[in-house]
Amino acid sequence: MRFGRAYKYHGLGNDFVLFDSIKTGRLIKPRDAVFICDRHFGVGADGVLTLLPSKKADFYMHIYNSDGSVAEMCGNGIRCAVKHFVDTHRTKAGILRVETKKGIQICEYSRKGGEVESVVVNMGSPILEPRDIPVKSRDIQLKIKLGNNTISGMAVSMGNPHFVFFGNYSEKDIHKWGPHIEKHHLFPRHTNVELARLINRSEILLYVWERGVGITLACGSGSCATVVAGVKRGLVAPDRFIKVRLLGGDLYVKYDTGADVVYMRGTAKRVFGIDF
């Protein structure tokens, strides 16, 4: 099957194949996304982004996970989408409105050498109401029993569900617990899983198990959910950018508690373009 022109991007190693369908409105099928994301038989990626026309914003960003499921929002993906749109369509607006399944996200970008270097995304307000996350509980503070271990954490949604837990854990623990928590019965739509180790009130070390993907090198919405959980628990400082150290690099997240808005700042890189 011929898919046409596509591009490989990554945000801190969280990688995507991107289709620019703003003029055509063409969207590939879920099974095609699974094939494209396969790292042995396809291009290889954590997900597929498609830029589509929008009547409400500069463009609509559609997101497939590597298993063919559709994601509501992706923090790393939206930075890649903004970089592609600005660098390819040569807009000079400075601020873009991107429509997603979650809603419209406001993105402000900076350039270096004529290309987008960094993007600040207004991720909106965190969702902390159990039924809206959704989670089958009256409380967002949860205890999940896995074998002989009980994991205590917080459910947060940034348009997509997350379960965040802090502790003195290692990377091997997210491999061990991530797939079980992702599909735990408390989460009817499954969940992303974040294991956070607190460095200090301004810095977090984070490991991520993404819903429908598995271990990823970075997760923008997961970093935002983790900072929100940290602020709510009094572990990290509110109203200033917190450094989130991920396997693929660093993101910076601020939870403005007065406005109840989360901001994320990070880079995006184009790797190559391909016709296939």
Catalytic residue numbers, as ranges: 74, 219
- CA atoms of 77 and 73, how far apart (whole Å): 8
Identify whether the C-beta of residue 115 lies closer than 8 Å to the C-beta of residue 109.
no
Question: What token pair was written down for 1?
Answer: 């099957």
- CA atoms of 192 and 276, how far apart (whole Å): 31
Residue by residue, DSSP assigns 79-91 as HHHHHHHHHHH--
- Sorted by sequence, the CB contacts under 8 Å of residue 21 that are 6+ apart come out as 27, 50, 51, 52
Question: What token pair was written down for 243?
Answer: 């450094």
- CA atoms of 172 and 240, how far apart (whole Å): 30
- Sorted by sequence, the CB contacts under 8 Å of residue 92 that are 6+ apart come out as none
Q: How many CB atoms lie within 10 A of CB 68?
A: 16
In which residue are the tokens 């790292």 written? 39
- Sorted by sequence, the CB contacts under 8 Å of residue 229 that are 6+ apart come out as 153, 154, 156, 164, 166, 196
| Burial (Cβ within 10 Å: 0-12, 13-18, ≥19) of residue 109 | buried
